[in-house]
Amino acid sequence: MINSLTGCLLINKKVGLTSRQEVNNISHILKEKKCGHIGTLDPFASGLLIVLVGKATKISPFLERENKTYIATLKLGQMTDSGDLDGKVILEKEVPQLTKKQIQEALDSFLGKSFQIPPMYSALKKDGKHLYDYARKGIEIERQPREINVFNIKLISFKQDEITFEAKVSKGTYIRTLGEDIAKQLNCVGHLVALKRTAIGEFELSKAIDSDNVTEVDLISIEDMLRSLPTIYLEGREAFKANNGVALKLDSSADEVILKDEKGIIAVYKKQNSDVYSCLRGFR
């Protein structure tokens, strides 16, 4: 009998493993080949990794756009080619005498919207290859700046040459690059020596489990993962239309809605004009 599990898992990714290795471990345990994840965490990083199983892989776009919260430790005085402790030191600079006030002011200067150039050591692709594949060969690829938003950022601790801070940021923000920019703002250089993701949207690390302990019972339904979207229940012909992806007139002011019938979730529909919605993602 073919296993057809569907749902999501909140996983506490371990330091030293890639995000893909964590997913592969879960795929093996649950015996479900169709598995993915939201937001890649580097091997040196830990924290919340949302793993999608079966048909839940279809909700990836809805979760990828969520804001993320991190706790990072920035070591001043050395810059590495990767922006973290796994890279090679390429520049050193004396660490200036700093006060907590100076550091918090530097952190505050990054609040709000700005543009960030993605690092070469990233999972972004160029001509079908990851940028980190080019970086490992010493090839530099031109990257376009991307708009990011730092919603809040605060100093947690500062001792000697290490700054630990917490930041809530928009999709696509690279904390390694943010760390380098913070060091530059302090007239120094630096790289991350620790990084932990503590939240993705409303989902928190405190609810996450170790991938080695995963069972089917831990799967969270698609509806629960998308609970920020309003739900509309359909019957009869309207449910039949939704099952076939037909545009519908719906009584809602929301931009996106979940449509359900007695069998469960049918699809996510998106508003096109005043009251007409079209199918954005179907689950049947």
Give the residue among 52, 29, 51, 50 at the shortest CA–CA distance from 205.
Answer: 50
CATH code, domain with 74:
3.30.2350.10
SS3 of residue 276 by DSSP: strand
Most confident of 110-114, 143-147, 270-274: 110-114
Both 28 and 82 in one domain: the answer is no
Asked if residue 194 and residue 75 are part of one domain, the reply reads: yes
pLDDT tens-digit map of 128-179: 887 878 878 788 888 889 999 999 999 999 998 999 999 999 999 999 999 9
Residue at token pair 């699809």: 267
Question: Which single residue is written with the structure tokens 């960030």?
Answer: 116
- Any idea how long the chain is? 284
42 is known as an active-site residue = yes
How far apart (Å, rounded) are the C-alpha atoms in residues 240 and 121?
47
The reply to whether 72 falls in a domain is yes
Q: Domain with 236 in it: what CATH number? A: 2.30.130.10
Tokens 């057809």 belong to which residue? 4
Q: Tally Cβ neighbours within 10 Å of residue 152.
A: 12
Domain that holds residue 151: 68-200
Domain-located, residue 2:
no
pLDDT, one tens digit per residue, over 67-105 is: 999 999 999 999 999 999 999 999 999 999 999 999 999
Flag whether 76 is in a domain: yes
Residues 152 and 210 in one domain: no
Question: Exposure of 35 by Cβ count < 10 A (0-12 exposed, 13-18 middle, 19+ buried)?
Answer: buried
Select which of 42, 81, 84, 181 is catalytic: 42
Q: How many domains does the chain have?
A: 3
Shared domain check, 80 and 33: no
Is 1 part of any domain?
no
CA distance 242 to 266: 7
Q: What is the mean pLDDT of residues 24-50?
A: 95
Q: What are phi and psi of 9, to 5 degrees?
A: -130, 140
